[in-house]
Amino acid sequence: MGRGEAVTQRTLDPPFGGSNPPAPTRKILWKAMDISEAELIRWIRSLASPFQKKALVGIGDDAAVIKGREGYSYLFTTDTLVENVHFRWEFVHPYQLGWKALAVNASDIAAMGGYPVFALVTFGIPTSFLSSRVKEVYKGLVDLSTRLNLEISGGDIVRSRIFFISISVVGEVEAGRAVLRSGAKPGDSVYLTGDIGRAATGFLSLKEGKKLHLPSATDSLRRRWLMPFPRIKEAREIAMGGVATAMIDLSDGLSSDLYHILEESGVGAEIWEKNLPIASETEKVCHELNRSPLEVALHGGEDYELLFTAPATTNVEKIVSFQVTRIGKILEGSGLFLLNKKGERKKLKSGGWDHFLSTAP
Amino acid sequence: MGRGEAVTQRTLDPPFGGSNPPAPTRKILWKAMDISEAELIRWIRSLASPFQKKALVGIGDDAAVIKGREGYSYLFTTDTLVENVHFRWEFVHPYQLGWKALAVNASDIAAMGGYPVFALVTFGIPTSFLSSRVKEVYKGLVDLSTRLNLEISGGDIVRSRIFFISISVVGEVEAGRAVLRSGAKPGDSVYLTGDIGRAATGFLSLKEGKKLHLPSATDSLRRRWLMPFPRIKEAREIAMGGVATAMIDLSDGLSSDLYHILEESGVGAEIWEKNLPIASETEKVCHELNRSPLEVALHGGEDYELLFTAPATTNVEKIVSFQVTRIGKILEGSGLFLLNKKGERKKLKSGGWDHFLSTAP
């Protein structure tokens, strides 16, 4: 362990904190992280990739794909919710938080065309918490796990100054049936399950609703943000029907998540404003909140619907038993464009849902 | 989603925080968690157990055991290190922290007799961090993963007010070869790999060393606490040799971890002070720190050695290629006893290593 010795030396003379306070110039940088999340992930991926030889699919999709029991692949994914970053106790009941923490993980398994089977659950708990709150979180989690026929098979409980819940899920999909982000081809159609902008509007109504005296029509929108139901059933039809060339779940928002597919597939896309499925209640509440329903639908996250591509020749509507909407098409090259209602074609930035929004007062 | 609706109602009238401040009596309880970690885990286990039908081994061991590729089982485990709870930046270099975070997870796989194959890595990062620190953490992690032939196949990066690193590992073991905590039988001998008290003494010397002007003999002790090397090779010999009836890794300390085996196996045990493998440098530094080497060996954690039981008729020393020490025997009934050097038999409490110690100033 030669490296180990060298490093031990460094620790005895600690480079951060302790007796070596950072120099003034360093302090300035210290104020804000000097790298974007996307850049950090790219760096991590570049460091880890040379060693990726055993996973069928590694870093860069909704879940890793590894060999499973005979005839199957396992899907392996993790997602974490942190207090005051992804949620505030003011807006979410502990029961709902437990439900949601598992739902977002199961949704990553759905995004691969699979179903969740096992979960490990880690709680970071401040010592100041009442156990009743932690138990409510756990009840929400167990209730969703029962509905999904998913087993909680372990986990960890750690003390932490802020509450967090980190879940890892193992799912399953028939060998060769996993739907990746990387399979979209020019000419493919782009599809959505359900409607979009619902969760973000629900969240905004929770955050801003009191001062606006919103009507009760927001309940179903808020419920979507608080207790999303992962689209496992729909994902299974899509995967087993061999319908999709690429798929992802909508967590960061349509523009961001479609952009992930484009990046991994090396293609571009155009989406059509007139086809975007936005519910009338979403539009109504957006107007009351002085928000553009289109902006919320394009960039608002956490609907946990499925976004997928399929060959233009595939009659998706006839194959699947649920509602889908064709919202655009895949193009050669790169870039994401919006064809607006006037027929104008505009470059669309992957705005994305800032989960950090939830901390705004 | 009937339940969902009821819960949504509750959230609109939030039971915690927000517009409903807790009543005074509640505030008092709020100061300290009203349940022990062990009680909470028991409650969680009782709630989840009715649904555990698919895992071969669920909650209650070092890792869950699930069906793997043909001829194998997968092992599934998770472990988390939280800033100011499990470590302080003052004592640990970021590179070492990354190494250690993966090592403690791999050690859980070793405790089952398996080898680690895939890992998902989640970082909780304060926005005030320099990326160079996060990259150092990641380098330590990748260096150990390369030595263990383990692939990092995904993860998550989240913002968090405190730094944490949560890792989930999938390991593998030949079908039917997983060594559980629950197989110890009365009459079995109790064995240890390596020596104990080393990591805890190293940690204590880091924490208290400056004021004591300790000699440099502490380096190898500190390195054990900072960069433990998981006993995969030893675990594989034990599992494939069919040697052990039960096994666990030493993370919480000998008394606590042996107690886990006793609880899961429904037996008691006696350990022999005169046989406990304590290195002379551990003894020396303990004396300099005014600590009892015996107490540190019994209750100090994080050595990440293997503790296992084997039938008295098995000649373990002849079967395995590494050093093991027979430190006691399994008894009928329950309870843990220490036979001291004078031949007196005393009840031993499972004191355990308080990971929280690391936050003490």
The per-residue pLDDT for range A80-136, each reduced to its tens digit, is 999 999 999 999 999 999 999 999 999 999 999 999 999 999 999 998 888 899 999
Assess whether pLDDT exceeds 60 at residue B359.
no
Please report whether residue B99 resides in a domain: yes
Selection from B51, B165, B162 nearest residue B101 by Cα: B165
Chain B residues close to A18, C-beta within 8 Å: 89-91
Of B53, B80, B143, the CB nearest to A3: B143
pLDDT at B6: 33
The 8-class DSSP code of residue A57 comes to B
Please report whether residue B2 resides in a domain: no
Please report whether residue B32 resides in a domain: no
CB A358 within 8 A of CB A203: yes
Beta-carbon separation of A78 and B143 below 8 A: no
The rounded average pLDDT for each run of 10 residues, N- to C-terminus, in chain A (361 residues) is 32 30 29 72 84 84 92 96 93 95 98 97 92 94 95 92 96 97 97 97 86 67 94 98 97 94 97 97 92 94 97 96 97 96 90 43 28
Assess whether pLDDT exceeds 70 at residue B11.
no
Burial of A321 (0-12, 13-18, 19+ CB in 10 A): exposed
Distance, CA of A228 to CA of A101 (rounded, Å): 10
Of B16, B54, B164, the CB nearest to A133: B16
CA distance A185 to chain B (A): 25
Selection from A85, A15, A27, A61 nearest residue B135 by Cα: A15
| Residues B249, B101 share a domain | no
Beta-carbon separation of A7 and B140 below 8 A: yes
Collect all residues with Cβ–Cβ distance below 8 Å to A266 and sequence separation of at least 6: A334
Residue of B nearest to A61 (CA): B154
Collect all residues with Cβ–Cβ distance below 8 Å to B331 and sequence separation of at least 6: B186, B267, B268, B269, B270, B337
- Most B-contacting residue of A5, A7, A220 (CB-CB within 10 A), to test interface: A7
Beta-carbon separation of B118 and A54 below 8 A: yes
| Residues B240, B163 share a domain | no
Residue of A nearest to B209 (CA): A12
Higher pLDDT, B18 or A210: A210
| Residues A246, A136 share a domain | no
pLDDT tens digits along A278-297:
999 999 999 988 999 999 99
Q: What is the mean pLDDT of chain A?
A: 86
Beta-carbon separation of A95 and B10 below 8 A: yes
Chain A residues close to B135, C-beta within 8 Å: 43
Beta-carbon separation of A134 and B223 below 8 A: no
Assess whether pLDDT exceeds 80 at residue B9.
no
Chain A residues close to B15, C-beta within 8 Å: 93
**pLDDT category of residue B19 using cuts at 50, 70 and 90:** very low
Please report whether residue A4 resides in a domain: no
- Most B-contacting residue of A3, A8, A10, A11 (CB-CB within 10 A), to test interface: A11
Assess whether pLDDT exceeds 90 at residue B20.
no
CB A118 within 8 A of CB B64: yes
CA distance B262 to chain A (A): 19
| Residues A347, A237 share a domain | yes
Give the torsion sign (CA, B106, A75, B141, B209). negative
> A140, A174, A208 — which closes off a domain?
A174
**pLDDT category of residue B163 using cuts at 50, 70 and 90:** very high
> B123, B141, B174 — which closes off a domain?
B174
**pLDDT category of residue B358 using cuts at 50, 70 and 90:** very low
pLDDT at B128: 86
Of A96, A122, A229, the CB nearest to B11: A96
In this structure, the strands spanning A72-82 and A164-174 are: antiparallel
| Residues A193, A153 share a domain | no
CA end-to-end distance (rounded Å), chain A:
49
Burial of A51 (0-12, 13-18, 19+ CB in 10 A): middle
CB B195 within 8 A of CB B224: no
Residue of A nearest to B141 (CA): A48
CB A52 within 8 A of CB A76: no
The 8-class DSSP code of residue A361 comes to -
DSSP string, A316-347: HHHHSSS-EEEEEEEESSS-EEEE-TTS-EEE
Beta-carbon separation of B14 and A86 below 8 A: no
CA distance B69 to chain A (A): 4
Chain B residues close to A126, C-beta within 8 Å: 33
Q: What is the ipTM of this complex?
A: 0.86
Chain B residues close to A198, C-beta within 8 Å: none
Residue of A nearest to B21 (CA): A90
CATH number at residue B127: 3.30.1330.10
CA distance B253 to chain A (A): 17
Beta-carbon separation of B158 and A86 below 8 A: yes
| Residues B90, B158 share a domain | yes
CA distance A191 to chain B (A): 26
Measured between alpha carbons, how far is residue A222 from residues A175, A180, A252, B59 in Å? 37, 30, 17, 34
Residue of A nearest to B73 (CA): A69
> B130, B147, B174 — which closes off a domain?
B174
CA distance B168 to chain A (A): 7
Cα B164-A153-B242 angle, rounded to 5 deg: 105
Beta-carbon separation of B166 and A80 below 8 A: yes
**pLDDT category of residue B329 using cuts at 50, 70 and 90:** very high
Can you give the residue range of the structural domain that contains A134?
A: 53-174
Q: What is the mean pLDDT of chain B?
A: 86
| Residues B307, B255 share a domain | yes
Higher pLDDT, B348 or B27: B348
Chain A residues close to B7, C-beta within 8 Å: 93, 95-96, 99, 140, 226-227
Please report whether residue B12 resides in a domain: no
Domain count, chain B: 2
Measured between alpha carbons, how far is residue B110 from residues A104, A122, B57, B237 in Å? 30, 20, 16, 10
Please report whether residue A22 resides in a domain: no
| Residues B256, B226 share a domain | yes
Beta-carbon separation of B58 and A128 below 8 A: no
Assign 3-state DSSP to chain B and report helix, strand, coil percentages, each to 5: 40, 25, 35
| Residues B161, B207 share a domain | no
Beta-carbon separation of B227 and A168 below 8 A: no
Chain A residues close to B67, C-beta within 8 Å: 69
| Residues B194, B170 share a domain | no
How many beta-carbon pairs under 8 angstroms link A with B? 320
CA distance A160 to chain B (A): 7
Chain A residues close to B117, C-beta within 8 Å: 54, 66
Q: SS3 of A230, please?
A: coil
Assess whether pLDDT exceeds 70 at residue B211.
no
Cα A294-A112-A302 angle, rounded to 5 deg: 30
pLDDT tens digits along B135-149:
999 999 999 999 999
| Residues B145, B200 share a domain | no
Distance, CA of A229 to CA of B106 (rounded, Å): 33
Beta-carbon separation of B127 and A32 below 8 A: yes
Q: B290: alpha, beta or left, given left = phi > 0 and alpha = psi -120 to 50?
A: left
CATH number at residue B202: 3.90.650.10
pLDDT at B49: 74
pLDDT at A17: 29
Please report whether residue B130 resides in a domain: yes
Distance, CA of A76 to CA of B40 (rounded, Å): 27
Percent of chain B at pLDDT above 90? 71
Strands, E, within A219-261: which ranges?
A: 246-249
Distance, CA of B60 to CA of B79 (rounded, Å): 14
Distance, CA of B271 to CA of B277 (rounded, Å): 12
DSSP string, B29-83: HHTS-SS-HHHHHHHHHHHHGGG--S-SB-BTBSSEEEE-STTEEEEEEEEEEEB
Please report whether residue A97 resides in a domain: yes
| Residues B328, B195 share a domain | yes
Residue of A nearest to B29 (CA): A130
pLDDT at B100: 97
Beta-carbon separation of B162 and A162 below 8 A: yes
